[in-house]
Structure 1
Amino acid sequence: MKKIEFSTSLLFFWIKGKVEVDNRFVKTNLSNTLLGFIPAGKDQQSIPLKNISGAMLSTKYFIKPIILGLFIFFTGLNSLGDSFILGLILLILGIGIAGSGIQTILEIEKSGTPYLISVPFFEKPKMQLLNNSIHDALAEDTDKTDLNLFFDKKSQ
């Protein structure tokens, strides 16, 4: 069983999600939030491997948060001379918002419907590991029912 825990938000890195992959299920446990940071419950699913046709990893760039974050960042730079604290807060907030515009998305195709898990860009290695774990579990599940492979292994 492979268990992977990851952050679901760039600004609020303490909000975590968890995915477990075993030989029968992919179990997800993601945090729901209001306004992106107020905890509002969990989204839990157990997806049977038989219902998964594949998993795909991609990186998306959302232009609106990037532009808004850069605008806030440069506003913070401009206000550093007048009010250092306000400028520093705006700088950090601008970087966080701009960074949240870069998302790594794991798409699990279950029964023809995509199930998306979006994480910040710095969690990409964990998503690659999760994607590989799902592919390995799918291959192992397929190999269990392949009689040709069974008899080839038996004859060796």
Structure 2
Amino acid sequence: MAETQQTMTEFTYATGETDVIGDRFSPSVVLFWLRTSVAASDMRVMYKSPNTLLGVIPLGSSTQTIPLRNIASVDTNTKFNLGSFVWGAVFLVAGLSFLSSSALVGILFLLLAAVNLANTMSAQLDFVNQAGGRNSVKVSILEKDKLMQLAQNIQQLVFADVEGLRHQESMDMAQKQYTAQTNSVLIQQQMLDQQRKTAADVDPSPAQTE
């Protein structure tokens, strides 16, 4: 799929979306030819990451879209993948045990072990919502610095959106207060007019005599 000029990713944005940023990453040290894409605008965040079997066989991809207003913070961290470590150790033991009896099977297991052990450490980007839930994107540990830079840029969009929402809420509150005050003045004026009319009906002015 063609990359957009704004973000160098395959995502496209609607007319009116601004502050578009994004980048592409390798999902792991081994699968350097695949790409995980992350992009954001002033309205939403989108990311697309490949799915794999045993950490090496591509099985399609998954795409996620998150409204920017649903994001409370953007975090990055280094992740230790226990599953990859365990599978790597299992494949390593199996490969060493099969080398003497079947070299081909042993080499295959050793390759799977190398792939999983190489993926033991990864960089992770977390989009945290107001309830504490997380949407996570994992990329190669070698691209952690680039991921952190993108995370900072997206965090700035989140802060700008929060400030915009606060400003809008403040304007809405001021408008409601003004409307309430105006209605109160109108009601008081109507009550005063009604009292004057009632007083005039009950106590009319005496007719003048010559």
Paired residues of 1:6 and 1:17 also in contact (CA < 8 A): yes
State whether structure 2 residue 49 is matched by structure 1 residue 30: yes
- Whole-Å separation in 2 of the counterparts to 1:32 and 1:114: 18
- Whole-Å separation in 2 of the counterparts to 1:91 and 1:11: 14
What runs of 5+ residues in structure 2 fail to find an aligned partner?
1-19, 96-105, 171-210
Q: CA 1:47 to 1:15, structure 2 compared with 1: closer, same or farther past 3 Å? A: same
Number of residues of Structure 1 aligned to a counterpart in Structure 2: 147
Q: Note the alpha carbon deviations across 1:60-115, whole angstroms, 9 max, x for none.
A: 22456457758988xx9xxxxxxxxxx99988765543331111111111353211
Picking from 81, 84, 106, the partner of 2:125 is: 106
- Whole-Å separation in 1 of the counterparts to 2:77 and 2:158: 19
**Paired position in structure 2 for 1:15:** 34
Q: CA 1:43 to 1:71, structure 2 compared with 1: closer, same or farther past 3 Å? A: closer
State whether structure 2 residue 65 is matched by structure 1 residue 46: yes
Report the Cα offset of residue 32 of structure 1.
1.8
Paired residues of 1:33 and 1:39 also in contact (CA < 8 A): yes
Point out the structure with max Rg over C-alpha: 2
Percentage identity across paired residues of the two chains: 26
Higher strand fraction (1 or 2)? 1
Paired residues of 2:25 and 2:140 also in contact (CA < 8 A): no
Q: Note the alpha carbon deviations across 1:12-55, whole angstroms, 9 max, x for none.
A: 21121101111111011111223323332221121101111112
**Paired position in structure 2 for 1:126:** 146
Aligned to 1:8, the other structure's residue is in SS state coil
- Whole-Å separation in 2 of the counterparts to 1:16 and 1:56: 20
Aligned to 2:134, the other structure's residue is in SS state strand
TM-score (normalised: structure 1): 0.71
Picking from 116, 139, 156, the partner of 1:97 is: 116
Paired residues of 1:58 and 1:105 also in contact (CA < 8 A): yes
Aligned to 2:55, the other structure's residue is in SS state coil
Aligned to 1:115, the other structure's residue is in SS state strand
TM-score (normalised: structure 2): 0.55
- Whole-Å separation in 2 of the counterparts to 1:142 and 1:110: 13
Paired residues of 2:56 and 2:115 also in contact (CA < 8 A): no
Paired residues of 1:3 and 1:18 also in contact (CA < 8 A): yes
Q: Which amino acid aligns with 1:125?
A: D
Deviates more, 1:88-97 or 1:28-37: 88-97
Q: Which amino acid aligns with 1:5?
A: R
Structure number with greater CO (CA < 8 Å, separation at least 6) is 1
Report the Cα offset of residue 146 of structure 1.
3.8
Q: Which amino acid aligns with 1:97?
A: N
What runs of 5+ residues in structure 1 fail to find an aligned partner?
77-86, 151-156
Q: CA 1:120 to 1:27, structure 2 compared with 1: closer, same or farther past 3 Å? A: same
